[in-house]
Amino acid sequence: MSRKLRMGMVGGGQGAFIGGVHRIAAGIDGQIELVCGALHIDPEIAILSGQDLYLNPGRIYKTYHEMFEKESKLSAEERMDFVSIVTPNHVHFEPTKLALENGFHVVCEKPMSFSLDEALQLQKLVKETGLTFALTHTYTGYPMVKQAREMCTSGTFGKVRKIVVEYPQGWLSTPLEQTGQQQATWRTDPKRSGKAGSVGDIGTHAENLAETITGLKISELSADVSTFVENRLLDDDANVLLRFDSGAKGVLHCSQICAGEENAIKIKAY
């Protein structure tokens, strides 16, 4: 196929964080162009955000429903190929479902959904449509992680006995959500973020890294989940003992109150 892939985007407008990262990543190798977007829940901001990105005015949409409907009617030479879903957590399941039903491949931010039932629905839909569904556990894309996985799973080191994985952040050390900061607000709101705070936001990356690199599965765990900042509704820290299916043991800890840390994800496998 001698053309760029055509990407649409749900979320990622003004005030967003991860959408810009998706656009940079998509732009780096010159194989993808952003052609359309439903970039914000507020239709006016959605339009302004599309203009910021120099989108064709006819392809700046007010809602993702409108985007999927109209894009699916465009010719094969124009229509977007896939959609990047970069909204807050509570708006992952529905646009993914709708995109798949309208024939679009999906790159979706984690988490996939708010319940196992929803996840199973998506799994079924992916199977039926034959479309690609990619969940962005972004750390697994680094060459160093792939190399580590190869070294662990090929037996270079012998059998892995102990795994220590951590993801400390410090940005929520203070009640930042009470200042109205957009990222802090939705990420500490159970309605938009889901049941988990730090565990869902970054603990999942630590968990994913541990299982990806070692090729092992966590079979048992014991966790001490805490909320250190007063009046916060979700956890901002967790310490977890791990047992893996192979008999390996380990520790996972993640935090949003480790003042001084930015995104200090680290793993050791012995």
Looking at the Cβ atoms of 81 and 166, the one nearer to its own copies is 166
Asked if 218 touches its own copies (CB under 8 A), the answer is: no
Asked if 151 touches its own copies (CB under 8 A), the answer is: no
Cβ-based neighbours of 7, under 8 Å, separated by 6 or more: 26, 32, 33, 34, 35, 80, 81, 82, 83, 84
Looking at the Cβ atoms of 35 and 122, the one nearer to its own copies is 35
Q: Which residue among 66, 142, 146, 270 contacts its own copies (CB under 8 A)?
A: 270
Asked if 259 touches its own copies (CB under 8 A), the answer is: yes
Cβ-based neighbours of 155, under 8 Å, separated by 6 or more: none
Q: Which residue among 70, 90, 192, 249 contacts its own copies (CB under 8 A)?
A: 249
Which residue intervals of the chain are DSSP H helices? 18-28, 43-52, 64-72, 93-101, 116-129, 143-153, 182-187, 190-193, 198, 204-214
Asked if 53 touches its own copies (CB under 8 A), the answer is: yes
Window 77-106: residues binding its own copies (CB under 8 A): none
**Whether the Cβ atoms of residue 72 and residue 94 lie closer than 8 Å to each other:** no
Looking at the Cβ atoms of 52 and 150, the one nearer to its own copies is 52
CA distances from 123 to 24, 47, 110, 193, 200 (A): 28, 32, 15, 22, 20
Write the Ramachandran bin of 96: left for phi over 0, alpha for psi from -120 to 50, otherwise beta: alpha
Looking at the Cβ atoms of 57 and 180, the one nearer to its own copies is 57
- Beta strand 105-108 with 82-85 is parallel
Asked if 76 touches its own copies (CB under 8 A), the answer is: no
Q: How many Å apart are CA 19 and CA 15, to the nearest integer?
A: 10
Task: Count Cβ atoms below 10 Å from residue 54 Cβ, excluding itself.
Answer: 7
Asked if 267 touches its own copies (CB under 8 A), the answer is: no
Asked if 37 touches its own copies (CB under 8 A), the answer is: no
The count of C-alpha atoms lying within 13 angstroms of the C-alpha of 152, restricted to the half-sphere facing its C-beta, is 23
Asked if 258 touches its own copies (CB under 8 A), the answer is: yes
Asked if 148 touches its own copies (CB under 8 A), the answer is: no
Closest distance of CB 235 from its own copies, Å: 11
Q: Which residue among 49, 84, 136, 255 contacts its own copies (CB under 8 A)?
A: 255
Asked if 51 touches its own copies (CB under 8 A), the answer is: yes
List of residues contacting its own copies (CB under 8 A): 2-4, 23-24, 27-30, 34, 51, 53-54, 157, 161-162, 164, 166, 168, 170, 222, 224, 226, 228, 237, 239, 241-243, 249-251, 253, 255, 257-261, 268, 270
